[in-house]
Amino acid sequence: MGAEMTRTKSADGTTIRYQVDGQGPDLVLVHGVGSRLEAWDGVVKSLQEDIRTVRLDLRGHGDSDKPAGRYELSDFVSDTIAVLDDLGIETCHLAGHSLGGLVAQGFALEHPEKLDRLVLLSTVAGRNEEERARVEQRLALVADGIPGAHFEKSVERWFTDDFRRNNPELIKAYGRQNRSNDPKAYASAYRVLAQTDLADQLYAITAPTLVATGDGDVGSNTRMAKLMHERIPGSSLHIFENLRHSILAEAPDRVAALIRDFLL
pLDDT per residue over 153-205, tens digit each? 889 999 999 999 999 999 999 988 888 899 999 999 999 999 999 999 999 99
The pLDDT score that the predictor gives to residue 179 is 87
| Local structure of 48: helix, strand or coil | coil
- The proportion of the chain whose per-residue pLDDT surpasses 90, expressed as a percent, equals 89
Pairing of strands 52-56, 26-30: parallel
Judged against a pLDDT cut of 90, whether residue 234 lies above it is answered with yes
Q: Is the dihedral of CA 120, 36, 103, 7 positive or negative?
A: negative
- pLDDT tens profile 72-123: 999 999 999 999 999 999 999 999 999 999 999 999 999 999 999 999 999 9
Judged against a pLDDT cut of 70, whether residue 147 lies above it is answered with no
Angle between helices 99-110 and 73-87 (to 10 degrees): 70
Calpha distance 7→3 (Å, rounded): 13
Average pLDDT on 19-29 reads 97
The pLDDT score that the predictor gives to residue 146 is 66
What is the Rg, in whole angstroms, of the alpha carbon atoms belonging to the chain? 17
Helices (H) and strands (E) in the chain, counts: 11, 8
Per-residue CA distances from 247 to 97, 129, 140 (Å): 9, 26, 25
* Residues, the chain: 264
pTM: predicted TM-score of the whole model, two decimal places: 0.96
Band (pLDDT 50/70/90 cuts) for residue 4 is low
6-263: CATH topology is Rossmann fold (3.40.50)
| Sequence-distant (≥ 6) Cβ neighbours of residue 19 within 8 angstroms | 1, 3, 4, 5, 6, 37, 54, 55, 56
40 φ, ψ (degrees, to nearest 5): -90, 5
Contact call for residues 256 and 121 (beta carbons, < 8 A)? no
Calpha distance 37→39 (Å, rounded): 5
In whole numbers, what is the pLDDT of the chain averaged over residues? Answer: 95
Band (pLDDT 50/70/90 cuts) for residue 1 is very low
